[in-house]
Homo-oligomer: A and B are copies of this chain.
Amino acid sequence: MTPVRIALAQINPVVGDIKGNLAIIKAVLAESQSSGADLVVFPELAITGYPPEDLLLKSDFVDANLRALKSLANSVRQCSAVVGFVDEQGGELYNAAAIIDEGEVKAVYHKHLLPNYGVFDEERYFEPGQGIILAKMGDLVFGVTVCEDLWWEHGPSAECASAGAELIVNINASPFHMGKGKQRQELLSARARANDVSYAYVNAVGGQDELVFDGGSCFVTRNGDVVARAGQFVADTLLFDLEPTGPPKVRTTTQEGLKVVNLAGPLDDGRAGIVHAVAPELSPEEEAYRALVLGVRDYLDKNGFKQALIGLSGGIDSALTACIAVEAIGAENVLGVCNPSGFTSGRSVDDAAKLASNLGIDMEVIAIAPIFEAMLTSLRPLFGDSAFGIAEENLQARIRGMLWMAISNKFGRIVLSTGNKSEMAVGYATLYGDMAGGFAVLKDVPKTLVYRIADLVNRDTELIPSSIIERPPTAELRPDQLDTDSLPPYDVLDPILQAYVEDDLSIDKIVAQGFDHEVVCRVVGMVDSAEYKRRQAPPGIKITDRAFGRDRRLPITNRYRPYL
C-alpha cells in the first residue's frame, strides 16, 4: 500500500486576525508540501483563532472567515488539507472542519459535541452538527472530527470507525491545564484501542488572554501507541507516514448521514522516509513554567507590548514573575521597580537588587514614604487620630500601583502584576494596589506551586536568591507583618483551596480530609468574600483545572454561607 504522508500543523493563530492566520496557514501549507505531505491538518477554528467569543455574533466577522476559507481552498492544489473554520448554514453557525482538495472545499464536517462548561461557551454560538464524513485518499480512509467529539465514548469517532475509517483526524484548540497532556494521551490511547483506529491529533499552540494552548499534537496507532508527538508550547509541524492496512472498506449502508469524499493523492515520488520524533513528557512544574512563559509572551506580543514593568518587593512571587518575564521577552525588555516603604526591610531591597542583577534587568527604586505622608496629611481632617489599619496598609500598596501605572503610561510598558492564586482566593491582595496591572502572571499558581516552580528555575543556577526563597512570606505593610498573621500556613491553605475552589467540596468533606473545622470555615469565608476583588483583577494564565475568571462563575452578591 502506498503510504500517506500527513503533516500536523501545530500553529499559533491570533483571535480575530483572519488575514494573519490565513498567511500562517498558507506558509505552513507550502512548507509541508515541500516536505512531501499529502495531507496537512490545521487546528480547530484555525482561521479565526480560538475562542473568538462574541466576535461570532458579528456577521461581517463570519463573512470574512468564509472569504478566507475560499482563498485558502484556492491555494490548496498539490496536496489536501483539513482546516477549522466557522461555517454558516441557514443563519446558524457551526464549529467546522473543511476538507480541501484540488482547489475546492470538498466536504465540511460540523462538530457534534459542543462543550459548554468550564471555560467553554460553545452552545452560545454554535449548533451541533449531524452526520459524519469519510475521506478516501488512495487506500486510506479517514474520518474528521473536532476536539470535544473525541472526549465522549459514543461520539462521531466511533461512528467513523464503524463505517470503515482506519484513521481519525481530530482537530483541536484544547486549553492547557496541568496534567492535561497526560490525560489527553491516555484518552487517545483508550479511544484508539476501543475503536480500532489510529488517531492524528492536532492541537493549536499559543496564549489567548487567560488560556494557553499547549500543542502536543501526536499520532497514535490503533494499538494505542504514541509514535510521533510534537513538543508542547512551541509551534511545530509534525510529519508522519501512514501505510494503509489494506484496501478500503467503506460500509456506507450502516450509517445515516454519511458522506464519502475522494481526494487526490497520495503522491508517491519515492520520498525519503521520516524519523518520527516523540517529544518527551514534561514534569508538572516544567509544564506550568512553560505555559506561563508562553502565556506572557503571547499576551504581550498579540496586544502590541514589547516591554514590561514588574514591582519587585524582594518576595518570591515578584521574583518568579520577573524570571518568567525575562524568559518570555528578554531581560532587556523587563524593568524592575522597587518601592520600599517605612516597613520594608533593607533585606527586601537588597534581595530585589540581587535578583535584578542575576537576571540582568534594570531596577529603579522609588521610596513611597513622601507620597504616603502627603496622602495621610490630606486625609487627616477625616481620619483624625484613628488607628493605623487596613486603610493605611492599602494606601501603601496603592501608591505602588499608581507609580507603576504612571511609568506604564509614560513609557508604554505593561505592568505585570505578581499576586498568586492563594492570595487571589482569600483576597490577601489590594485592589488597585498590588493587583494593579495589565496581566497577572501567577493568578492561577498556588503559593506552594510558586515555590516548586522557583526551584525548577533555580535548578542550574541560583537566579532567584536563596534569601528570597527562604524568608517567611510578608506583605511588609505594617511592622513585623507575616502572611501567617492572617492566613494559615500555605501548605494547609493550598489543599483547602484546592478542595473548595477546584473540587467544589462542601465544608464537611474538606474537614473529613483532615483539616480543622474552624480553619476551613475561615478560609471558605475569605474566598466567598473576595469575589468582588477578583472581578476587578487583571486577566492571568489558567494552569489549573479551575482558574478564577470564566472558569469559575460565582455571583458577588451571594448569601450562600453555610459556615455562618
Contacts and interface: CB of A to CB of B under 8 A. Distances in A.
A401 B55 contact: no
A208 B559 CA distance: 11
A123 interface: yes
A402 B386 contact: no
Contacts of A60: 506-508, 562
Given A366-B379, A399-B402, A559 B20 contact: yes
A379 B407 contact: yes
Nearest to A414: B532
B553 A539 contact: no
Nearest to A365: B381
B57 A504 contact: yes
A406 interface: yes
Interface stretch (A10-18, A94-102, A310-318): A10-18
A16 B405 contact: no
Contacts of A377: 370
A17 B559 contact: yes
Interface in A368-406: 368, 370-371, 373-375, 377-379, 381-383, 386, 389-392, 394-395, 398-399, 401-403, 405-406
Nearest to A50: B555
The size bracket of the interface on A is: 35 or more
A278 B119 CA distance: 44
A403 B379 contact: yes
A504 B55 CA distance: 9
B390 A303 contact: no
Interface string A485-513: 00000000000000000001011100000
Interface stretch (A321-329, A430-438, A447-455): A430-438
Contacts of A395: 402, 406
A366 B377 CA distance: 10
Given A209-B556, A377-B370, A438 B532 contact: yes
Contacts of A64: 560, 562
A560 B378 contact: no
A554 interface: yes
A53 B555 CA distance: 7
A121 interface: yes
Interface in A5-25: 14-18, 20
B52 A555 contact: yes
Contacts of A20: 559
B555 A51 contact: yes
Given A506-B58, A557-B209, A559-B14, A374 B379 contact: no
B379 A552 contact: no
A55 B561 CA distance: 11
Interface string A144-167: 000000000000000000000000
Nearest to A430: B405
A385 to B, nearest CB: 12
A254 to B, nearest CB: 29
A321 to B, nearest CB: 18
Contacts of A366: 378-379, 381-382
Interface of A: 14-18, 20, 51-55, 57-61, 64, 116-117, 121, 123-124, 207-209, 298-299, 302-303, 364, 366-368, 370-371, 373-375, 377-379, 381-383, 386, 389-392, 394-395, 398-399, 401-403, 405-407, 409-410, 431-432, 436, 438, 504, 506-508, 532, 535-539, 552-562
The 10 closest A-B pairs by CB, nearest first: A16-B560, A17-B559, A391-B409, A60-B506, A374-B374, A391-B410, A432-B432, A16-B558, A16-B559, A371-B374
25 contacts: A14-B557, A53-B553, A57-B504, A59-B504, A121-B124, A208-B557, A209-B555, A209-B556, A303-B556, A364-B381, A364-B382, A367-B378, A375-B402, A375-B403, A379-B406, A382-B407, A391-B409, A394-B405, A394-B409, A402-B402, A432-B432, A438-B532, A535-B538, A536-B537, A536-B538
